[in-house]
Structure 1
Amino acid sequence: MPGINNGTHSGVTYKSAEAPCNNEQPTTPSITFTNQTSSDGKTVTVDKASLPEGGFVVLYTRDGNFVSSSERIGSGVANDVKVTVPQGIQGNPTLVALLHYDTNDDGTFNSGDAAYTNNGQHVSDTATVKSN
């Protein structure tokens, strides 16, 4: 499939392809992530991500441990962004969804990709995810 790049983060390999966005071009990054139940126990949905320069939605535990990342999202507003958690969702964790740039423009999230900020604060939202 064209546009797919492979990458590794924290020992886990991810395949990345640019996810589609609508034509809306935000000037301010934002994210909406609401409490949910994962129907398959591995997929988390971020309601809305506004990325002025494109990038990734990255999931972390509340104490800052990396969980997983989305495919690369083009600049604009993306709705219903799916993030696969390869190890599955255990229990009912509270996760933090944080927006990141594709700093090195390689199409794959890695630890060098800077987080989006707004007024000096990371652009993030928190939600509890239950597994069926």
Structure 2
Amino acid sequence: MGWRRRNKIVVGLAVVMILGTAVYFRLWAIDYSASSYDADLLRRRFDLANREALDESAEWRLRYDEEAERTAQCLNELKQVKESSKKDDYVGNVNQKLEMLQKVKSLDEGSVYRAGQDGLA
């Protein structure tokens, strides 16, 4: 009698284990198909985000290249202006000195003229 009862318990336990294993595999199969769909969806979203990031990166790179080109052009123009201003400064200094000499000469002539008038008066 002890053996029969023990056999029933073992058989019942084996049946429960087989049913539990079947339920586990069924849940695993459902989760696997759902997770593979989720993985595919996640991969698509990642690919889309990656393409958008690459597009934005290319746009910023283009802006940077355009700005670098403008900056180089401005620097070249500034260099040309500085070089021409150095030349102009030299010419300007000569012109300034000439004007000052002319003013001094005219002042000297005016003072001689005035001194002559003062002496006559």
- Normalized against structure 1, the TM-score is what? 0.10
Higher relative contact order (CA 8 A, sep 6+): 1
- Normalized against structure 2, the TM-score is what? 0.10
Task: Say which one has the larger Rg.
Answer: 2
Q: Which has the higher strand share?
A: 1
Q: Which has the higher helix share?
A: 2
